[in-house]
Amino acid sequence: MRTSMFVKGILTAAVAAMPLLCDAESNVQTGAATASPGATAHVDFQVVIPKFLYLRVGTGSVYTGATPSYANNGTIDLINFTPTSAQVGTGTAVAATAASGDLANGIETAAVVSNSGNVTLNATATGALSDGAGDSIAFTQITTTSSTLNSATALPAPVLTNGTSANVVITAPATKVIVQDAKWTYAYANTTTPPAGTYGGVNTNNGRVVYTATMP
């Protein structure tokens, strides 16, 4: 009986010790009293970075500074042109009104931030600006000039047209990370003389342009 209890105790202790020896990688080395045994163990690590693509045109989240923020912002700016009767059709470009754009005077903040290679950018209008009475102004009359803001290279702007513009390709560096912004200044080219009226507006009469950025 004593022998049976002794053996049972040894087996119980061995089972209790098994998690220490078998669950994780371990390595036990023994040697002579004068030797210096070595042992190794391994741990695997993995970091999964999601793809992200941030596009801003106009009023949006602040993304400069030590702690960038890329939150969505639903504000849509109105760029408004009000040429005088003496200016109409003269071919002299007309600036937007002072209250237009998040940077005023028809100037919008534009930015792209991404981490997966080249980005393609375009702009889509549903048609020419309309006055709702059958008259129109082509979107080619609205010009966009890009100039530097924070990044060393200004983010290029698509050329507006009555439909989808030609693609603008933003080439990523070897890191595949793009952080590029610009000031986009809109102007009315004023090379035609349309009938009197209000053309476009806040999501009316084809006044809205949708900018789209895509990446692989």
Max Cα distance, the chain (Å):
118
The pLDDT of residue 67 = 53
Quick one: CA dihedral 167, 173, 178, 180, positive or negative? negative
Owning domain of residue 66: 52-216
CA distances from 34 to 29, 31, 40, 150 (A): 14, 8, 20, 66
Report whether 100 contacts 80 (CB < 8 A).
yes
The pLDDT of residue 193 = 98
Question: Has residue 26 been placed in a domain?
Answer: no
Question: Has residue 23 been placed in a domain?
Answer: no
Q: Tell me the pTM.
A: 0.81
Residue 149 to residue 100: CA distance in whole angstroms: 18
Question: Has residue 18 been placed in a domain?
Answer: no
Question: Has residue 158 been placed in a domain?
Answer: yes
Report whether 117 contacts 207 (CB < 8 A).
no
Domain count for the chain, please give it.
1
The pLDDT of residue 156 = 98
Question: Has residue 107 been placed in a domain?
Answer: yes
Q: Summarize pLDDT for 7-16 with one digit per residue, the tens.
A: 344 334 444 4
Ranges in the chain, pLDDT < 70: 1-35, 61-71
Report whether 125 contacts 203 (CB < 8 A).
no
The pLDDT of residue 216 = 87
Question: Has residue 210 been placed in a domain?
Answer: yes
Q: Write down the H helix ranges in the chain.
A: 2-22
Question: Has residue 133 been placed in a domain?
Answer: yes
Question: Has residue 177 been placed in a domain?
Answer: yes
